[in-house]
Amino acid sequence: MMMKSLKMTVAALALSAGAAQAADVEVLHWWTSGGEAAALNVLKQDLEGQGIGWQDMPVAGGGGTEAMTVLRARVTAGDPPTAVQALGFDILDWGNQGALANLNELAAKEGWDDVVPEALQAFAKVDGKWISAPVNVHSTNWVWANKSVLDANGIAVPTTWDEFTAAVETLKAAGVTPIAHGGQAWQDATVFDAVVMSTGGADFYKAAFVDLDEDALGSDTMKEAFDRMAYIRANVDENFSGRDWNLATAMVINGEAGFQMMGDWAKGEFLNAGKVPGEDFLCFRFPGTGDTVTFNADQFMMFDQGGTVSSEQAALASAILSPSFQIAFNKVKGSVPARTDVDGSDLDACGQQGMKDLAAAASSGKLFGSMAHGHAAPAAVKNAVYDVVTAHFNGEYDSATAVQELVDAVSIAQ
């Protein structure tokens, strides 16, 4: 059924492509939840104001895996979209294949090198050429909580793993689902990212997921991280399997669950529901990760349309990097701007905290690309980790077996 559905999706997108007008941009993306759609509308309206039409190509699936599958089908058919939302190593892979347009002329004209952090430029350039336009920076090691639920049960914001487990036990005793979670591989891996950072610290995270050090991957510390994942699995509801991330967020919004571990795109769902940070919901770093930040960055890569950057591509990229758009978009999306020179005073409390955390982590060397979101290791390694983490989360492996499977899977994937 999945393959049939995918083929139907590709066919529908192909029809959509044929209907595009000369001055339109075809944009493939996976922003389909309420908060994400509201944020994307900011970009659509910006382009419409310039007389540029928008051919929407949404492919549901929060981690972008399905979107990349559809993209490969389009490129293989010789019909790439104008622009595609992408993450990390996926961008570099397409860039190294020579499939993306060279945006250097526009980047030089608008001074991108001076305002986009080097950590993002590392995923926006190949051989010194700008090949994508960064939209934002998401940090992934956040926890979202329903303030009323926590207050009713006398729970303060947990800052350590022990404080977190104590809060979980309190909620469970009160008959509240402690943790809202969606059982999809990328969501499992998002939680695992934070758990590994919390369990072993920044140096351990880097050794395991960036350096792919076999000793770190096979260590007792990694086993403890899997043990903690098993604890989390024991404290989600029984209907978690296959649930989309935004439906898990809705459980927290509606007071059906206490916590969700998810990147800051979750904030867009709270804001879209009319909730106020600090009053209705709380945002804080995953207990034990302290002042360390794991990140990903949504970017739009521009496909080569015949050797030159089209006027529509240039307009789209310019709109994305404009300071006014960066604030307007990220205010709705939940992320923080990809530019360092914008005023974040219009952002809400969580957004301002996110900007502060990001700047501090970048200056202290504690800013790390997220493994789960394709910013720590290439896609083959990421997918290998996904397989092991999800198998363990669903009870196929105990923690000791998961550690050995992780070592083997990463070794094979390299």
- 80: CATH: 3.40.190.10
Q: What is the pLDDT of residues 247-262, one digit of tens each?
A: 999 999 999 999 999 9
Q: Are residues 114 and 56 in the same domain?
A: yes
* Confidence bin at 6 (pLDDT 50/70/90): very low
Q: What is the pLDDT of residues 53-64, one digit of tens each?
A: 999 999 987 678
Q: Are residues 275 and 401 in the same domain?
A: yes
Ramachandran angles phi, psi of 105, nearest 5°: -60, -45
Residue 308: per-residue pLDDT: 84
Domain count, the chain: 2
Specify if 347 maps to a domain: no
Residues 25 and 55 sit within 8 Å (Cβ to Cβ): yes
Chain-centroid distance, C-alpha 314: 25
Helix count (H) and strand count (E) of the chain?
19, 15
Lowest mean pLDDT across 35-44, 168-177, 209-218, 370-379: 35-44
Distance separating alpha carbons of residues 405 and 157, to the nearest angstrom:
34
Chain-centroid distance, C-alpha 304: 25
Indicate if the pLDDT at residue 18 is higher than 70. Answer: no
Q: What is the mean pLDDT of residues 104-108?
A: 97
Residue 276: per-residue pLDDT: 96
Q: Count Cβ neighbours within 10 Å for each residue of 12-41 and write b for 16 or more, e otherwise.
A: ebeeebeebeeebbbbbbbbebebbbbbbe
Q: Model's pTM, two decimal places?
A: 0.83
CB atoms under 10 Å from CB of 7, counted, come to 11
Q: What is the mean pLDDT of residues 120-139?
A: 95
> Which tokens sit at 47?
């382009």
CA dist 75 → 17, 82, 94, 305, 316 (Å): 12, 11, 10, 12, 20
Q: Are residues 104 and 224 in the same domain?
A: no
Q: Are residues 126 and 54 in the same domain?
A: yes
Q: What is the mean pLDDT of residues 150-162?
A: 98
Locate tokens 């890569």: which residue?
Answer: 301
> What's the mean per-residue pLDDT of the chain?
91
Indicate if the pLDDT at residue 149 is higher than 50. Answer: yes
Q: Are residues 258 and 143 in the same domain?
A: yes
Indicate if the pLDDT at residue 2 is higher than 80. Answer: no
Q: Are residues 89 and 17 in the same domain?
A: yes
Residue 34: per-residue pLDDT: 85
Q: What is the pLDDT of residues 299-349, one digit of tens each?
A: 999 999 888 899 999 999 999 999 989 998 888 888 999 998 999 998 999
Q: Are residues 241 and 379 in the same domain?
A: yes
Residue 306: per-residue pLDDT: 80
Residue 334: per-residue pLDDT: 83
Q: Are residues 264 and 238 in the same domain?
A: yes
CA dist 63 → 68, 90, 124, 298, 366 (Å): 10, 12, 19, 11, 24
Indicate if the pLDDT at residue 21 is higher than 60. Answer: no
Lowest mean pLDDT across 3-17, 66-80, 257-271, 377-391: 3-17
Residue 63: per-residue pLDDT: 72
Specify if 126 maps to a domain: yes
* Confidence bin at 222 (pLDDT 50/70/90): very high
Q: Are residues 387 and 258 in the same domain?
A: yes
Q: Are residues 131 and 160 in the same domain?
A: no
DSSP 348-377: -HHHHHHHHHHHHHHHHT-EEE-TTTTSSS
Specify if 150 maps to a domain: yes
Specify if 354 maps to a domain: no
Task: Note the helical H segments in 239-294.
Answer: 245-253, 266-272
Indicate if the pLDDT at residue 94 is higher than 50. Answer: yes
Q: To which H or E segment does residue 132 belong?
A: strand 132-134
CA angle 1/57/303 to nearest 5° reads 115
Distance separating alpha carbons of residues 395 and 108, to the nearest angstrom:
52
Q: What is the pLDDT of residues 277-304, one digit of tens each?
A: 999 999 999 999 999 999 999 999 999 9
Specify if 302 maps to a domain: yes
Q: Are residues 25 and 79 in the same domain?
A: yes
Range of the domain at 198: 139-294+367-413
Residue 36: per-residue pLDDT: 85
Q: What is the mean pLDDT of residues 94-98?
A: 94
Q: Are residues 38 and 115 in the same domain?
A: yes
Locate tokens 């969606």: which residue?
Answer: 182
Q: What is the residue type of 226?
A: F
* Confidence bin at 117 (pLDDT 50/70/90): confident
Specify if 407 maps to a domain: yes
Indicate if the pLDDT at residue 162 is higher than 70. Answer: yes
Among 358, 333, 381, which residue's Cα sits nearest to residue 29? 333
